[in-house]
Structure 1
Amino acid sequence: MSASLSPLPLDELPLRRVAHILSIDWSRLAASEARRLRELGFDEGVRIETLHRGGLFGRDPIAIRVGRMTVAIRRAVAAAVSVHPAS
């Protein structure tokens, strides 16, 4: 496996790159953030794509495609999601 296909946090996934969720560290998230991710369909194996990052400072929010939805999440929340880029 090449280094570019190694697991990485969602906040580091390059733009327009498709990946699958490996795991979510629920303990790093507030209860409301965890509930929102679950409601939006974030779960192991789900296909996602990073579409856009916000302004220069902090790069918040991050726009993510989950299935046919586009959602915005904070970078700190995305950092709790481990993904594996699709080959």
Structure 2
Amino acid sequence: MIPQIPLPMLSEGKDCKIREVLAGKDLKRRLTEMGFTPSSSIRLIGCERGNLLVNVNGARYALGKGMAMKIMVEPD
């Protein structure tokens, strides 16, 4: 079994792959439209004012911690 952890548990600067998004229909659709899909590359850039700064497929986003906890990743 491949280990997966919530996105906020990832160390800053680490690359990983998104395994799944554990969210309700509306949030899952919103994240999918932003590029947060299984097998997408993601990097945790840092944390600023309680938001996580991430890079997904070349695009930079700021996510609230609650939203980020729903994104399960597989560390490289």
Superposition TM-score tier, normalisation by shorter sequence: 0.7 to 0.9
* TM-score under structure 1 length normalisation: 0.77
SS of match in other structure, 1:50: strand
Segments of structure 2 that go 5 or more residues without pairing to the other structure are none
Percent of paired sites with the same residue: 21
Q: Secondary structure at the match of 1:38?
A: helix
Q: CA RMSD in A?
A: 2.0
Q: Which residue of 1 aligns with 2:10?
A: 13
Cross-structure match for 2:44: 50
Instruction: Determine whether 1:24 maps to 2:24.
Output: no
Greater share of strand residues, 1 or 2? Answer: 2
Q: Distance in 1 between matches of 2:12 and 2:54?
A: 9
Q: Distance in 2 between matches of 1:35 and 1:61?
A: 20
Residue 55 of structure 2 aligns to a residue in which SS? strand
**Alignment counterpart, residue 39 of structure 1, candidates 33, 43, 62:** 33
Structure 1 runs not aligned, ≥5 long: none
What secondary structure is seen at the aligned counterpart in 1 of 2:37?
coil
From the CA coordinates, give the structure whose radius of gyration is larger: 1
TM-score by length of 2: 0.87
Query: Separation in 1 of the partners of 2:53 and 2:40?
Result: 16
* Alignment: residue pair count: 76
Deviation (angstroms), 1:38: 1.5
2:51 match: 61
